[in-house]
Structure 1
Amino acid sequence: MSQPFVVHINPVAFSLGPVQVHWYGLMYLLGFFFVALLGEYRRQKGRLPVSREALGDLFFYGMLGVIIGGRLWYMLFYYEGGIHWIWTQPLALFKVWDGGMSFHGGLLGVLAAALWWSRRHRLHFFDTMDFVAPLVPLGLGLGRLGNFINGELWGKPTSLSWGMIFPSAHADDVAYAGSDPALLQQLQSYGGLIRHPSELYELALEGLAMFIVIWLVSSRPRPRYLVSGLFALMYGVFRFAVEFVRVPDPQLGYLFGTHWVTMGQMQSLPLIVIGVWLLALSRNAPTLRLYTAALPDKGTDEE
């Protein structure tokens, strides 16, 4: 077997004096950039009757929702010290440079921001979400690329030819190998166990595949709820499936004494159910008409 690829990439993209700019942060910025770019394109196609200024407000509040919701959800459900941080070290919530963001929390943050914005502009909440859903997958994919560059959220050991070595998983490699002669030989030969690049699986599924499918489906007017339902269903199924080959968060492990149920799977099940429910609702829902011309940059759509 040829030497597997070793995921040992400098997480720092470049430095500006004492300030280090990390690839992970750049991935977030690129994600927000593509959301804004694609959103403005859809707005100009008449997919939502708002001005550029109003759409910019939606993206700004959505960005806050991603950051605040994603960080808070991580601290509540994934933080190594449990929820004791609330009264022992509350400032840990703001230490985003230590890592720790949750997609499910970020999604809830976006939903809250979109609900408030939709009411302010007298739009149906799901018309807003059907507009936003096709914009999100590229950002998700870039986030997973950032995870890969950081060498984190790695997968389980595999014998597949595209498996990779994650040096940051060395302690887990040693524990997993135990006294197994074949795995010990692998450790000695390659310096680590060959693992599934689960971040790249998620990049391909949650990022590229979801973007292509949802963008194509939403390329013409669809019944209300359909695009949002498709997004929820696809993400839930993809995330649930990839969790089978991804190592669970070490501070949580597997749930309920099983060897396969993870927190990620538990939090993805509601998305699958909601996705199916929304798709069912769409069968009798109205279709948002295309607006013949986008509103000007500064419209009068404020209350």
Structure 2
Amino acid sequence: MYPTLGDLLHHPWGADLPVGTHGFFVLVGVLAAGLVFVHEARRRGQTDERILYVVMGALVGGAIFMRLGTWLQHVDLRQNASFAEQWLYGNRSILGGLVGAWLGVHVAKRVTGYRARTGDLFAPAVALGMAVGRIGCLLTEQPGTPTGHGWGITLDAGAAARTGSPAGVPLHPSFVYEIAFHLAAFAVIWWWLRHRSLPPGESFVWYVAAYAVFRFLVEFVRGNDVAWEGLTRPQLFLLATIPLVLARIAWQVKRGAYRDAMVPTGPTADELVA
């Protein structure tokens, strides 16, 4: 049976908190991402006050597209939920949220006239925030498809009914796979990639490309509804977007942008003072 927030916090008052388990971890993930973003902005000297509007654009765009990313599920528009129903009760889409955040950043930059690249600030922040936020998904959503073996997450009848999963059958812990991916991505970005001689903003492009490929593969054990030819809707979306991201990286390789990628950069002024 999945724990409540009160069970997770091990406090007698926890069960009375008006906060859902999923929402709690999403909030913690956003806070963790915010701390990493601020640290990186200061380390890189990007302290222009307009950066706050860029962050707001990312949050607003991400929130809107996360909620509306699963809206158009049917070709016949009459079969889809109304706008109000989707906003109030619709499923959330991480992929939609990432697209919305990207659009929100670009709109905010255009409005404020901020020209500096911000991908290197968002890359470690988003990776850590996703890792934390996915804990909420692990504790409240369908874990994955049956493993076919004796290992995996096994749900009792109550938890299975709440998540739409089979009871008493070991299931793939697909969200554990994703948490591990984002933690590994954060480690690579934080301790290695951010100290390489990459063009501004490219660490985020690499992170998005890696996550897109990983997400396409993990969808096979996620348990989402199959939409076409054995593929889920997220996989169909990724089939259209992965080539675009990889083509951008290939274009950068061709023009020699990554020629010095293996060369470590020197310490910043703040790091020398510390």
TM-score grouping bracket, smaller chain normalisation: 0.7 to 0.9
Match of 1:116 in 2: 107
Matched positions, count: 251
Q: Percent identity?
A: 27
Kindly provide the CA deviation profile for residues 88-133 of structure 1, in whole angstroms up to 9, marking residues without a partner as x: xx422332xx462101211121112110222223315xx2224312
| Structure-2 separation of matches of 1:291 and 1:76 | 48
The residue number in structure 2 matching 1:145 is 135
Unmatched tracts of structure 2, length 5 or more:
none
Other structure's SS at 1:101 match: coil
Query: Are the equivalent residues in 2 in contact too, given 1:76–1:82 (CA < 8 A)?
Result: no
- 1:164 corresponds, among 134, 153, 165, to 153
RMSD: 3.1
1:20 corresponds to: 18
SS at match of 2:198: coil
Cα distance in 1 between the residues matched to 2:201 and 2:37: 18
Unaligned 5+ segments in structure 1 are 1-6, 174-190, 295-303
Q: CA deviation at 1:17?
A: 10
* Partners of 1:137 and 1:222 in 2: CA distance: 18
Residue of structure 2 equivalent to 1:270: 240
1:290 Cα deviation from its structure 2 partner:
9.3
Distance in 2 between the 1:202 and 1:121 partners?
A: 36
Give the aligned residue type for 2:176: L
> 1:27 is aligned with what amino acid?
F
Residue 11 of structure 1: how far off its partner (Å): 5.1
Q: d(CA) in 2 for partners of 1:261 and 1:293? A: 49
Return closer, same or farther for 1:217/1:163 CA change in 2, 3 Å cut-off.
same
* d(CA) in 1 for partners of 2:152, 2:267: 49
Take 1:265 and 1:278, find their aligned partners in 2: how far apart are those partners?
A: 20
Q: How does 1:1-303 map to 2 (within 5 A)?
A: 7-10=1-4, 20-46=18-44, 49-51=46-48, 53-77=49-73, 84-86=80-82, 90-95=83-88, 98=89, 100-119=91-110, 120-124=112-116, 127-150=117-140, 152-167=141-156, 168-170=159-161, 172-173=165-166, 192-205=168-181, 207-215=182-190, 216-224=192-200, 226-248=202-224, 253-256=225-228, 258=229, 260-283=230-253, 284=255, 285=257
Once residues 233 and 279 of structure 1 are traced to their aligned partners in structure 2, the CA distance between those partners, rounded to angstroms, is: 9
**Is the contact between residue 58 and residue 100 of structure 2 (CA under 8 Å) also seen in structure 1?**
yes
Residues 268 and 239 of structure 1: is their aligned pair in 2 closer, same or farther, counting only changes over 3 Å? same
Contact 2:59 2:101 in 1 (8 A): yes
Within 2, Cα distance between the matches of 1:255 and 1:212? 34
Cα distance change on mapping 1:265 and 1:17 into 2, 3 Å: closer
Task: Describe the shift of the 1:209–1:271 C-alpha distance in structure 2 as closer, same or farther (beyond 3 A).
Answer: farther
Q: Distance in 2 between matches of 1:30 and 1:172?
A: 27
Give the letter aligned to residue 50 of structure 1. T
1:100 match: secondary structure: coil
> How does the TM-score come out when normalised to structure 1?
0.71
Residue 134 of structure 1, CA deviation = 2.3
CA gap of 1:92–1:210, structure 2 versus 1, over 3 A, is: same
